[in-house]
Structure formats: structure tokens, C-alpha cells
Amino acid sequence: MERVRNPLVHLGEEFYKNLSVKPTMSSSISRSPTTELAMSITLAGIYVLANFFPLTAFVGGSGFVTLEIVILPVIAWLQRPAFSCLSVLAGSLVATLLQVTMFLSFGPFAILIPLLAVAMGSAAFHYSWGRLLIWAYVFLGTVLYVFFSRGGT
């Protein structure tokens, strides 16, 4: 006796055969610019809120280490470099206006440091050459430290 094949199962097999499911990195996923911008604004707000939550006192320093240090890698992981920089720049400017950042102590570097961190972190997460960028930064920092410290600390 011949087995009768269900036509719906056959349609499902054809449908799934034509789909190409390949693992992709998040940088190759296409999102609309509106979605990227909405995520940037949301993450900027989360970044501002994270500035209000101290994790630990910075001994010998001018304040606290806040939750923003945890949020930066999350922003870098979720977004590509341009939008992650936009998120952190907007969040840093708002946090500076609310006077919850170290802007009074570090000046413009209080905005530049998180921007640089999230740009390089996002490049490392989303591009194959990004990890090379981070190691170049570490090497440059080491060379500058040795040059300007003249061997001392």
C-alpha cells in the first residue's frame, strides 16, 4: 500500500529548502535607519541613567565609578560604531548638563574617553579588523607612557 503524502507538509519542506539560514554577525544584519536611531536614543537614555548609579567609590579620585562603565560594552555590542558613538555622545552631553559626569575634573576628556571606548569596542565586535585597532591603541598607549614617564611611574 502506497503512503499518501500530505500536501501541506510538502509545501513546508519546499519553503524551508529555499530558505538560506546562515550564521551572521550583527554588522551584516540590515536594520532600517529609523530602528538604529531609535535604539541610539534609547541607549543614550540608559547611559544617562547609568551615570546616577555608583558602583564603588574611586579611592583618591574625584568621585565614583558608576554603572556607565558596564553600559559602554553593551552599547558597543548592540550597535555599529557610528550609531554607538552617537548614543554615547548624546548620553554624555545630557549627563554633563545634569552634572553627573566627571566633566569638572577631566574637562572634554570626560566625553572623549567613553566615545573612544565605545567606538573601538564596537569596531572589535562588528568588524574583523577591529581587534587589530584595539591592540594598536594598547601599543600606542604603552609607547607614549614609556616615552613621557622616562622609565618611571
Give the global pTM.
0.69
pLDDT recorded at residue 6: 52
Range of the domain at 68: 32-149
pLDDT for residue 90 is more than 90: yes
Q: Is residue 22 part of a domain?
A: no
pLDDT recorded at residue 63: 64
| pLDDT, tens digit (0-9, with 9 covering 90-100), for 4-25 | 555 544 544 554 455 444 334 4
Q: How many domains does the chain have?
A: 1
Quick one: residue 30, left, alpha or beta (phi over 0 = left, psi -120 to 50 = alpha)? beta
pLDDT recorded at residue 99: 85
Q: Is residue 23 part of a domain?
A: no
> Any idea which residue has 572623549 for its cell?
112
Which H/E stretch holds residue 56?
A: strand 54-57
Q: Is residue 77 part of a domain?
A: yes
Distance CA 9, CA 79 (A): 39
Q: Is residue 27 part of a domain?
A: no
pLDDT recorded at residue 29: 56
The string of DSSP codes covering 35-55 is HHHHHHHHHHHHHHHHTTSEE
Distance CA 98, CA 92 (A): 10
Q: Could you give the percent of the chain with pLDDT greater than 90? A: 30
CA 49 to chain CA mean position, Å: 16
pLDDT for residue 122 is more than 70: yes
pLDDT recorded at residue 13: 52
Q: Is residue 3 part of a domain?
A: no
DSSP 28: G
pLDDT for residue 92 is more than 80: yes
Longest CA–CA separation in the chain, Å: 90
Q: Is residue 15 part of a domain?
A: no
Question: pLDDT confidence of 75, banded at 50, 70, 90?
Answer: very high
Mean pLDDT for 125-134 is 86
Higher-pLDDT residue of 123, 151: 123
Q: Is residue 6 part of a domain?
A: no
Higher-pLDDT residue of 106, 57: 106
